[in-house]
Amino acid sequence: MNIVVMGGRGLVGRNIVERLRAQRHRVSAASRSTGVDLITGKGLADSLVGADVVVDVSNSPTFDDMAAFEFFKTAISNLLDAEKRAGVKHHVSLSVVGTGRLDASPYLRGKALQEHAIASSGIPFTIVHATQFFEFLLDIITYAIDGQAIRLSPAYIEPVASDDVAATIARVAANAPVNGSIEIAGPERARMSELIRQFVIDMEAPYEVCTDPGAPYFGATLDECVLLPREDAERGKLGFQAWIERSEYALANW
């Protein structure tokens, strides 16, 4: 099978590429570094010649402003148009648990638009909703820093290792489209502020984590359960403590 991974040089993309190549698929990693730009369309048509499956794990460079919405709007339009011309038979997309529930977030509003475009494109598809990656916790911290404090919602989350997500996406890409979505979450549930407080302590970062029900999450205020997956969600194997013990993020230079 000929598979193209958009965002194939990123954290999840590299992992997916390696897994699919190990299964003896023909796999191309497409990204700006390889001359493929989803926003301008440069190199896009050439990258899809002969592609059976496209896996899209590209991501916006920003999270909490309208630039994130515009990224997803432009990128998915260009990508789907190119896929139709190339005769792609299966579009696989990485999305986020909570998409469609948090319109106040430009990022998640962009993801919702992306999902609608995929579902109405006529191309067979599978959308993989994932909860927050453990690796994403550092971005949550960065966007929530207020002086020496980190203000975070006590909403529940079930974060997952990116390796577990990559394994699920690689499996999905090698199988028939479901024309719908599946979800994957981590094996443990915690309140966001409490988990990140533990993360900050483990990293010995010089910040105080404050629980604040009104704290924004990339532009949206969170209800307690809005970021939780469906009951039928797949479960990753790696828990938080096991992940952090082997993680480069625990060595962050503050």
Query: Distance between CA atoms of 152 and 213, rounded to whole angstroms?
Result: 7
Distances (CA, A) of 63 to 28, 151, 181, 227, 253: 27, 17, 23, 16, 22
Confidence tier at 213 by pLDDT (50, 70, 90): very high
pTM: 0.93
Given a cut of 90, whether residue 232 has pLDDT beyond it is yes
Of the candidates 93, 131, 99, 123, the one whose C-alpha atom is nearest the C-alpha of residue 113 is: 99
Per-residue pLDDT band at 88 (split at 50, 70, 90): very high
Give which of 1, 10, 15, 7 is closest to 55, Cα–Cα. 7
Report the pLDDT value the prediction gives residue 250, as an integer from 0 to 100: 55
Listing DSSP states for 166-205 in one string gives HHHHHHHHTS---SEEEEEE-S--EEHHHHHHHHHHHHT-
Instruction: Decide: helix, strand or coil at residue 140.
Output: helix
Q: Average the pLDDT over each of 56-70, 145-159, 172-186 and give the range with the smallest value.
A: 56-70
Task: Tell me which architecture the domain covering 2-251 has in CATH.
Answer: 3-Layer(aba) Sandwich (3.40)
Please report where in the chains the tokens 């390796």 appear, as a residue: 163
Structure-block tokens of residue 166: 């990559």
Q: Are 160 and 107 in contact (CB under 8 A)?
A: no
Q: Model confidence at 40, in pLDDT bands (50, 70, 90)?
A: very high
Distance CA 154, CA 222 (A): 9
Residue 98 to residue 111: CA distance in whole angstroms: 10
- Per-residue confidence band for 122, with pLDDT thresholds at 50, 70 and 90: very high
Mean pLDDT of all residues in 157-175: 97
What is the mean predicted confidence (pLDDT) over 216-244? 94
pLDDT at res. 251: 56
Do residues 169 and 12 touch, judged by C-beta distance below 8 A?
A: yes
**254 — pLDDT class (breaks 50, 70, 90):** very low
For residues 103 and 109, the answer to whether their CB atoms sit within 8 Å is yes
Structure confidence at residue 203 (pLDDT): 81
- DSSP-assigned letter for residue 186: -
